[in-house]
A and B are shown apart, each in its own frame.
Chain A
Amino acid sequence: EAQVTQNPRYLITVTGKKLTVTCSQNMNHEYMSWYRQDPGLGLRQIYYSMNVEVTDKGDVPEGYKVSRKEKRNFPLILESPSPNQTSLYFCASSPSPGQGARTGELFFGEGSRLTVL
């Protein structure tokens, strides 16, 4: 089954304790991205990657890191989480136009709800 898999789905942690949210897709997509979703603010892009070893900042990158060592994986790293990073996080992937993408179609994971105390 074609899917984007995120782990963990739920996490409660404390300020300053490093954590990683993993994301993996099995669709051979070149593009991957992380969003956070907050009430009233909608989905905001954190980081994105056009391909392996190519990453770039989105609209709200502060406090986050990413890496793209393999095509299928795009982990999100919070080196020193703070309470304002409490949010619902989504990983998404998309084929490039050359891979037959429907314009603007992102495939999302089921989300990871993070609470930082």
Chain B
Amino acid sequence: QKEVEQDPGPLSVPEGAIVSLNCTYSNSAFQYFMWYRQYSRKGPELLMYTYSSGNKEDGRFTAQVDKSSKYISLFIRDSQPSDSATYLCAKPPRGGYNKLIFGAGTRLAVHP
């Protein structure tokens, strides 16, 4: 079983919709998670990170961790066409803060 699993999509939504992107993880022995965003033909960039307790909000984006079900979620409110990208969840393995383990990524398309 992969340490981080993510539905690859694609996910297509109309502009203004609330988007929910999800990952599951198998090893709970770490403190935090990250979401990266990757635009087409670009490298990933860090979008948000959150510690393994509760929610973190940043503008239209909310990252949520549910430890009981081992679920990581990213919610996008009032989605915009500029949000169209691939979203990757990531976590560090035990003992390696920057040796990240990435999910496969979910491709999101927001159409006008």
Chain A residues within 8 Å of B, Cβ to Cβ = 4, 31, 33, 35, 39-45, 48, 58, 90, 92, 94, 97, 101-111
Q: How far is the CA of A102 from the CA of B87 in the complex (A)?
A: 19
Residues of A within 8 A of B98 (CB): 31, 33, 94, 101, 104, 106
Closest to B5 in A: A42
Provide a sorted-by-A list of 28 A–B residue pairs whose CB atoms are within 8 angstroms: A33-B98, A33-B99, A35-B102, A39-B8, A40-B8, A40-B104, A42-B6, A42-B105, A43-B44, A45-B99, A90-B44, A92-B43, A94-B98, A97-B97, A101-B98, A102-B46, A102-B49, A103-B32, A104-B32, A104-B46, A104-B100, A105-B34, A106-B46, A108-B45, A109-B43, A110-B41, A110-B42, A111-B42
Closest to B31 in A: A103
In the complex, per-residue mask of B21-54: 1 if CB is within 8 Å of any chain A CB, else 0: 0000000000010100000011111100100000
B49, A43: Cβ atoms closer than 8 Å: no
B102, A42: Cβ atoms closer than 8 Å: yes
Residues of B within 8 A of A94 (CB): 98
Q: How many residues of B contact A (CB 8 A)?
A: 22
Within 8 A of A (CB), among B65-112: 88, 90, 92, 97-100, 102-105
Q: How far is the CA of A49 from the CA of B82 in the complex (A)?
A: 34
A-B contact count (CB 8 A): 62
Q: How far is the CA of A42 from the CA of B86 in the complex (A)?
A: 11
Could you tell me the distance in whole angstroms from the C-beta of A112 to the nearest C-beta in chain B?
A: 10
Chain B residues within 8 Å of A, Cβ to Cβ = 6, 8, 32, 34, 41-46, 49, 88, 90, 92, 97-100, 102-105
Q: How far is the CA of A110 from the CA of B104 in the complex (A)?
A: 18
Closest to A109 in B: B43
A103, B97: Cβ atoms closer than 8 Å: yes
Other-chain residue from A42, A90, A102, A104 in contact with B92 (beta carbon distance below 8 A): A104
Residues of A within 8 A of B90 (CB): 104
A104, B104: Cβ atoms closer than 8 Å: no
